[in-house]
Amino acid sequence: MAGHLVVSCCLPGATTSSRAKAAAASSSSPPSSNLKPTNSRGDHTRIGRRDFVLRSSELATLAAIFHFSGTKPTYLGVQKNPPSLALCPATNNCVSTSEEISDSNHYAPPWNYNPKDGRRGKPVTKEEAMKELIEVVTKTKPDNFTPRIVEKTDDYVCVEYESPIFGFVDDVEFWFPPGNKPIVQYRTASRSGFVDFNANKKRVKELRLALEKKGWASESNF
């Protein structure tokens, strides 16, 4: 009997003590429903996104502080000997109708506002062609560059195209040479850098496509 009493007295006590310890351990630990499994990939993704937002904000702040418009070249305008727009520098960020046809990096063909294929029906005057050109220039924004006409005469237009970030400026010129040929020469060049990732060629192409809708044509496409 004594043995049974010891067992009957001690076992319940031992069981209660174990439950108490378990309860204490449970109370000191957060509930299982609140536990968040460790996910190193998720943590890295979250940090990466935060870092991206931070860097984007820093970039926007830097763009607001620094305005890389550059200095306007002094040689812009119609050259005298021979009469033409300026040639391009050696860098690959310029396109001009004044270049040699063999220079595939810099040459672009002139535009004809009264092409011989008769797509217009009725030819337009130089003054009317100038109005069409101005309309296209002001409404077309290749790569979201904002155009601003800074000089205009009866036969010449100079436009500054400003980039949406950092304010980089490209100088674009259009010239109607004297004579009876319905030709427009042009030149587009970046003020800074050495390459433009074909930004100037893309600009010329978008302007040409818009002018073609009005009846213009390129002497040849590129």
> What's the CATH code of the domain at 157?
3.30.310.80
Asked if residue 46 belongs to a domain, the reply is no
| Tens of each residue's pLDDT in the chain, 222 residues | 444 433 343 344 444 344 444 444 444 444 444 444 445 444 444 444 444 333 534 444 444 445 566 788 888 999 998 999 999 999 999 999 999 999 999 999 999 999 988 788 899 999 999 999 999 999 999 888 999 999 999 999 999 999 988 889 999 999 999 999 999 999 999 998 888 888 999 999 999 999 999 999 998 755
What is the predicted pLDDT for the residue at 54?
Answer: 37
What is the predicted pLDDT for the residue at 71?
Answer: 84
Cα separation, 34 vs 69, whole angstroms: 55
CA distances from 213 to 117, 146, 191, 206 (A): 14, 21, 30, 11
Cα separation, 191 vs 68, whole angstroms: 9
Backbone φ, ψ for residue 140 (5° rounding): -100, 130
Domain of residue 135: give its range: 94-218
Asked if residue 40 belongs to a domain, the reply is no
Asked if residue 107 belongs to a domain, the reply is yes
Least Cα distance to 200 among 105, 113, 76, 110 occurs for 105
Asked if residue 16 belongs to a domain, the reply is no
What is the predicted pLDDT for the residue at 67?
Answer: 54
Asked if residue 49 belongs to a domain, the reply is no
Cα separation, 22 vs 169, whole angstroms: 73
Asked if residue 54 belongs to a domain, the reply is no
Asked if residue 103 belongs to a domain, the reply is yes
What is the predicted pLDDT for the residue at 117?
Answer: 84
Q: How many domains are there within the chain? A: 1
Asked if residue 2 belongs to a domain, the reply is no
